[in-house]
């Protein structure tokens, strides 16, 4: 049975003190989540936030990125091994902002997935299409290419550790949100694609999150869709009450 997850991606927000206060507020506001709650603060906050949440069942720590090499002369970068040593269990890979601003390609993301799994981290692998792809109705093929290039080299045992996050790029930070029908269509297409590669049992066990302006107002409708297993939340994860409302929407 697949896991229900709400993951909060803080991106480049909150000082350490502010992050500690936000974590405290989230822990006070969220009592008994139905699924897993994953918090992805900046690298500088991992150790402190991790210590706060490790005492709570169903709460888990994630990093927002990792380097594709295990170690070396890469000034300013952070390895999967370093992330794991801070107590993280998950790492976000392939977020659209990494693809867009840092020009990360599918082959590099495949390397990141490999090194994350080798260090015991569960990748939250992001995929999604820009607006011009959606407008010409080639979004399913576009996302399929991302998944095939970066994930489908994995053996079944490793693939089962991956969480997929579908994030329509045109809906990230824009205030626009895919309708629940649009989200379900793509989530179902992803699950069908996984089934063709790994079989129906693996596909049915794969957690697929929705990311793209998911908020306290629309989370219930999105999460009610049969193939939507939770959300990768950006801005709304920076407010404890909104984040708690989204978590409560898990089915």
The catalytic residue positions are: 95, 167
Tell me how far apart the alpha carbons of residues 6 and 19 are, in angstroms, rounded to a whole number: 18
CB 43 within 8 A of CB 91: no
Nearest to 177 by CA among 136, 233, 241: 233
Give how far the C-alpha of residue 36 lies from the chain's centroid of Cα atoms, to the nearest Å.
12
């Amino acid at each position: 049975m697949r896991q229900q997850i709400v993951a909060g991606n803080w991106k480049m927000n909150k000082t350490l003190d502010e992050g500690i206060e936000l974590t405290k507020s989230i822990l006070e506001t969220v009592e008994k989540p139905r699924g897993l709650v994953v918090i992805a603060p900046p690298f500088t906050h991992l150790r402190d936030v991790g210590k706060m949440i490790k005492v709570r069942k169903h709460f888990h720590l994630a990093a927002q990125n990792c380097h594709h090499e295990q170690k070396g002369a890469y000034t300013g970068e952070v390895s999967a091994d370093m992330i794991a040593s801070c107590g993280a269990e998950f790492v976000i890979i392939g977020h659209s902002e990494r693809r867009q601003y840092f020009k990360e390609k599918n082959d590099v993301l495949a390397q990141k997935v490999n090194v994350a799994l080798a260090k015991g981290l569960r990748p939250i692998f992001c995929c999604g299409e820009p607006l011009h792809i959606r407008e010409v109705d080639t979004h399913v093929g576009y996302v399929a290419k991302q998944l095939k290039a970066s994930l489908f080299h994995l053996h079944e045992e490793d693939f089962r550790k991956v969480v997929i996050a579908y994030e329509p790029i045109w809906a990230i930070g824009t205030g626009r949100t895919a309708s629940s029908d649009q989200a379900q269509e793509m989530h179902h297409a992803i699950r069908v694609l996984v089934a063709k590669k790994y079989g129906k049992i693996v596909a049915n066990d794969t957690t697929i999150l929705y990311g793209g302006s998911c908020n306290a107002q629309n989370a219930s409708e999105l999460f009610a869709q049969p193939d939507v297993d939770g959300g990768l939340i950006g801005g709304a994860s920076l407010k404890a009450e909104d984040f708690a409302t989204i978590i409560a929407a898990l089915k």
